């Protein structure tokens, strides 16, 4: 009896079966009731006993199958009877059949002179085993309850010693056993921990989700100056994998191993994470915010906030769009702003009508008719005219129109002809109104205009009254003309372009200062587009940049807003184009991560909430340590590491554009600054290329200003004189400093200065991203080798903590990590990646759940996964047959962890000379 006073059904069935058998002997001595068939009564009792026996057989088979599950069939006669894809269920069915056959053999039901027995065929070989498996059907009603049916059971009934019936019957019972649920959940757990990171939820993703914020935090601390030489170490991988296993256990079984949770908490504390008690309850991302407080390295300065952000601005796009506007787009915008929708409104009212008709003589015949009309137009008093909504009436014209119609008819009586005249006179009032409104333009705020000047009225009058008002009024009374709608182009004032150019210069500065904060975590850098976010920020700020008033004082004020709108939209289009370029860069990085076997987290991972029958989970060992090579092994490789040890030559070469046929002037300048006394040929080449840049700047000045070529060259020379060395002058030519100095030296003003500033900034950016034709690979090869030798020697003799002092300022040319630079002006982060490989397994995993009825050795079902052979006596000969193997739960996966920091020379990455870290068991 359980704690609620209920007797388990299985026990009741057993008691009833024994009682029924004993009472049956007594009842068999009595006369049967009239009309009752003794054979049927015996058969019913036999089937009832068989159901009770089948229930107990199922419980026994379930407990045995859970304790020793067949995961893979053995290559033995009976093992080959199991199907590869359903080995556990087939082995369970075989156990149920064997246990039921043995239980049926002990049953003998009687009623009167009738006896009934239920029997199953013997298993005498692998073919019989296959038949037995097919005869048993096991289906899960719900987790913790199954329906078991054994088909082809033989029911034999005898009466007075003679067989009166033999037929096949199916015996079915519903049994409370969680064996299928425990097996399926454990199989799901085994699949999840061994699932690839790109294939879905599992240990690989849980480990990645833990390593990503941890690595990001350490990378930011390194960027801030903390002496962290190994951003991601295998000790971090060990803890993250164990914590990930706990998460997969909870997601699969609804609970995890308490000893394992405690062990993981201690491991987190030992690796530098505070609040060990919370690590098993809070998310990995929440834990990451506390990592910096107890970093396992002493920071040289306070580490940055893990949510550190850098700024991204559209300055380059703003200059490019400004040049487009000043080179032609502005003229088109001003012309569009001065287009008006014009309406000619005509209203005709007849004010008088008189007809004087002549009476023809009686009995005369009409011979001919001639009609003549005469129209007279004179001025008339004005009448009000209602203009359409949003239109302004520019001019009204009122005319009195008199139309006289004279009809002359000749009549004859055969000998004489008489001509009679009839006169019809109509008088009309014709009102004509000319109205207009600014033409609606896409993307331009629609606002009323306070006044449309005479320039607009004259243009509308020319378009809508080409023949004059009197001609229009005369034609209107006959219906020859009427209302008319046209778009009329009005010539903008010549002085308006200067005002618009100055307005665009101010708007350019506001656009260039528009920025968006860029979060520098690896996941956000690769999973979202900072440049697209900048485009969204710029679009949201569009109204402020246009600065449109509530109403326009004139078309000129509207034209300034139109020019700003066209300019902002052009800038926005360029930023969106560069967002596509940025997406290409990020796509290439993601492709690299994918090729390396990685997965980029883009949000919360999907975890199901199981309907569980599990009461406890235990795993051995409770914590998988890299010290135990059978339990866990790990390897992590830093993809873009600082050039220490075996990576020195490769990265030094890359730092100076190794392999390119032409070297950018900025790169050559950096190399010249690193070793100015030992590379005279490079110095000469840089001087020559810088002179070519100055010539290009002088050409721009001459083209964009009123200065002649000689004056333009002198302005560029004056501007260049402030830099004293070849390297400094070359850097100024490509970083925008020389452009600003030339503008100041050119003594330009107004529109000219705006145009020159934009043109020189664009020229500087073009130089920064193009290969310099004057500094060839042949010239810099010897200089690069000189720098390579010096840098490599410095790397070799300097310890990790002294590298920055050994390299000095030249370390800026050797950042750890990969700059994310889709186009100049859009460097928003430096990223690095680590490929992580992990393999391991548990010696034993035990999942308990459900309760066995009294009479069994244990109180609950225990499903165990461990490395062991599985055998049991299938044919009843007393010797167990090998069916298959139980296997321990093992896993192996690869992933990639990405970290990112703001732009800057330090970058992020391992700097300890060991880019490939392997645990002892790898």
Highest-confidence segment of 436-440, 604-608, 799-803: 436-440
Alpha carbons within 13 angstroms on the beta-carbon side of residue 188 total: 20
Q: Residues 161-170: pLDDT tens digits?
A: 888 889 999 9
Computed from CA positions of residues 752, 757, 760, 761, in that sequence, does the dihedral angle turn out positive or negative?
A: negative
Q: Flag whether pLDDT at 573 surpasses 50.
A: yes
Task: Give me the chain's average pLDDT, please.
Answer: 80
Q: Which residues contact 656 (CB under 8 A, 6 or more apart)?
A: 663, 667, 670, 671, 780, 784, 787, 813
pLDDT score of 66: 95
Q: What is the pLDDT of residues 266-316, one digit of tens each?
A: 887 777 543 222 223 333 333 333 322 322 222 233 334 444 456 778 888
Helix count (H) and strand count (E) of the chain?
27, 23
- Residue with the larger pLDDT of the pair 651 and 442: 442
- pLDDT band of residue 20 (cuts 50, 70, 90) is very low
Closest CA to 308 of 516, 515, 518: 518
The pLDDT value recorded for residue 579 is 79
What percent of the chain has pLDDT above 70? 77
Mean pLDDT of 114-136: 95
pLDDT confidence bin for 578, thresholds 50/70/90:
confident
Ranking 320-334, 579-593, 855-869 by mean pLDDT, the lowest is 579-593
Distance CA 268, CA 273 (A): 5
Phi, psi of 28 (to 5 degrees): -65, -20
pLDDT > 50? residue 626: yes
- Greater model confidence, 517 or 175: 175
Confidence of residue 863 (pLDDT cuts 50, 70, 90): very high
Q: Is residue 2 very low, low, confident or very high in pLDDT (cuts 50, 70, 90)?
A: very low
pLDDT at 904: 64
pLDDT higher than threshold 90 for residue 665: no
pLDDT digits (tens, 9 = 90+) for 103-115: 999 888 899 889 9
CB atoms within 10 A of CB 430: 24
Annotate 163-185 with b (16+ C-beta within 10 A) or e (fewer). ebeeeebebebebbbbbbbbbeb
The DSSP code sequence of 695-761 is HHHHHHHHHHSS--HHHHHHHHHHHHTT--SHHHHHHHHHHSHHHHHHHHHHT--HHHHHHHHHHHH
Per-residue model confidence as pLDDT tens digits over 25-38? 333 333 344 335 88
Q: Round to whole Å and give the CA distance between 689 and 680.
A: 14
In this model, does residue 17 exceed pLDDT 90?
no
């Amino acid at each position: 009896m359980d704690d609620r006073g209920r007797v388990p059904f299985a026990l009741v069935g057993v008691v009833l079966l024994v009682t029924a058998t004993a009472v049956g002997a007594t009842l068999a001595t009595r006369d049967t009731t009239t009309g009752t068939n003794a054979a049927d009564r015996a058969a019913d009792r036999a089937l009832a006993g068989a159901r009770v026996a089948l229930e107990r057989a199922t419980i026994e088979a379930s407990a045995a199958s859970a304790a020793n599950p067949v995961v893979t069939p053995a290559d033995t006669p009976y093992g080959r009877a199991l199907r590869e894809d359903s080995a556990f269920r087939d082995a369970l069915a075989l156990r149920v059949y064997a246990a039921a056959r043995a239980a049926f053999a002990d049953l003998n039901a009687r009623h009167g002179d009738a006896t009934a027995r239920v029997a199953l065929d013997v298993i005498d070989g692998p073919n019989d085993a296959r038949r037995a498996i097919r005869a048993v059907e096991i289906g899960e009603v719900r987790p913790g309850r199954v329906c078991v049916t054994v088909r082809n059971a033989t029911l034999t009934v005898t009466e007075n010693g003679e067989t009166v019936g033999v037929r096949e019957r199916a015996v079915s019972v519903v049994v409370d056993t969680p064996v299928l649920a425990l097996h399926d959940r454990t199989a799901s757990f085994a699949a999840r921990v061994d699932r690839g990171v790109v294939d879905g939820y599992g240990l690989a993703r849980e480990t990645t989700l833990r390593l990503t914020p941890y690595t990001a935090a350490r990378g930011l601390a390194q960027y801030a100056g903390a002496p962290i030489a190994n951003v991601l170490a295998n000790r971090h991988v060990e803890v993250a994998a164990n914590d990930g296993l706990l998460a997969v256990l909870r997601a699969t079984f609804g609970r995890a191993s308490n000893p394992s949770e405690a062990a993981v908490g201690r491991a987190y504390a030992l690796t530098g994470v505070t609040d060990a008690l919370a690590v098993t309850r809070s998310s990995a991302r929440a834990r990451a915010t506390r990592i910096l407080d107890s970093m396992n390295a002493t920071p040289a300065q306070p580490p940055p906030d893990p949510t550190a952000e850098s700024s991204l601005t559209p300055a380059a796009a703003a200059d490019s769009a400004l040049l487009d506007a000043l080179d032609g787009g502005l003229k088109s915008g001003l012309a569009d702003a001065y287009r008006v929708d014009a309406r000619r409104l005509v209203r005709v009212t007849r004010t008088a009508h008189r007809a004087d008709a002549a009476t023809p003589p009686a009995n005369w015949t009409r011979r001919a008719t001639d009609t003549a009309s005469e129209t007279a137009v004179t001025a008339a008093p004005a009448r009000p005219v209602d203009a359409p909504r949003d239109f302004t009436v520019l001019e009204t014209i009122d005319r009195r129109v008199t139309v006289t119609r004279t009809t002359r008819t000749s009549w004859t009586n055969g000998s004489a002809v008489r001509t009679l005249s009839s006169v019809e006179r109509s008088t009309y009032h014709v009102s004509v109104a000319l109205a207009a409104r600014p033409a609606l333009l896409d993307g331009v705020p629609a606002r009323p205009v306070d006044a449309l000047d005479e320039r607009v009225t004259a243009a509308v009058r020319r378009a809508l009254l080409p023949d004059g008002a009197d001609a229009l009024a005369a034609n209107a009374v006959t219906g020859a003309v009427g209302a008319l709608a046209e778009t009329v182009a009005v010539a903008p004032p010549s002085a308006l372009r200067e005002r618009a150019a100055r307005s665009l210069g101010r708007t350019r500065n506001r656009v260039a200062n528009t920025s968006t904060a860029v979060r520098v975590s690896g996941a956000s850098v690769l999973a979202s587009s900072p440049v697209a976010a900048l485009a969204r920020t710029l679009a949201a700020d569009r109204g402020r940049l246009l600065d449109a008033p509530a109403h326009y004082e004139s078309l000129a004020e509207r034209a300034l807003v139109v020019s700003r709108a066209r300019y902002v939209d052009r800038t926005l289009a360029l930023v969106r184009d560069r967002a596509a370029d940025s997406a290409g860069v990020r796509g290439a990085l993601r492709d690299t991560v994918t090729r390396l076997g990685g997965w980029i987290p883009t949000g919360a991972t999907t975890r199901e909430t199981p309907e569980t029958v599990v009461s406890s989970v235990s795993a051995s060992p409770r914590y998988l340590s890299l010290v135990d090579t059978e339990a866990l092994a790990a390897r992590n490789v830093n993809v873009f590491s600082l050039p220490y040890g075996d990576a020195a030559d490769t990265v030094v070469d890359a730092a100076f554009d190794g392999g390119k046929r032409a070297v950018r002037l900025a790169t050559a300048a950096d190399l010249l600054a690193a070793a100015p006394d030992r590379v005279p040929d490079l110095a000469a080449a840089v001087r020559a290329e810088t002179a070519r840049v100055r010539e290009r700047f002088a050409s721009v000045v001459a083209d964009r200003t009123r200065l002649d070529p000689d004056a333009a060259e002198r302005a560029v020379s004056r501007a260049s004189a402030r830099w004293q060395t070849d390297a400094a002058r070359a850097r100024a030519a490509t970083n925008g400093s020389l452009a600003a100095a030339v503008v100041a030296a050119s003594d330009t003003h107004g529109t000219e200065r705006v145009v020159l500033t934009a043109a020189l900034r664009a020229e500087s950016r073009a130089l920064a991203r193009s290969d310099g034709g004057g500094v060839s690979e042949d010239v810099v090869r010897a200089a690069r080798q000189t720098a390579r030798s010096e840098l490599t020697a410095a790397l070799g003799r300097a310890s990790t903590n002294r590298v920055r002092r050994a390299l000095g300022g030249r370390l800026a040319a050797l950042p750890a990590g990969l700059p994310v630079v889709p186009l100049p002006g859009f460097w928003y982060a430096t990223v690095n990646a680590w490929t992580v490989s992990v393999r391991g397994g548990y010696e034993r995993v035990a999942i308990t759940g459900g309760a066995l009825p009294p009479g069994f050795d244990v109180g609950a079902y225990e499903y165990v996964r461990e490395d062991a052979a599985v055998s049991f006596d299938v044919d009843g000969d007393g010797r167990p047959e090998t069916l298959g193997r139980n296997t321990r739960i093992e896993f192996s996966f690869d992933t990639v962890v990405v970290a990112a920091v703001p732009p800057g020379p330090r970058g992020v990455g391992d700097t300890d000379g060991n880019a490939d870290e392997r645990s002892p068991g790898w």
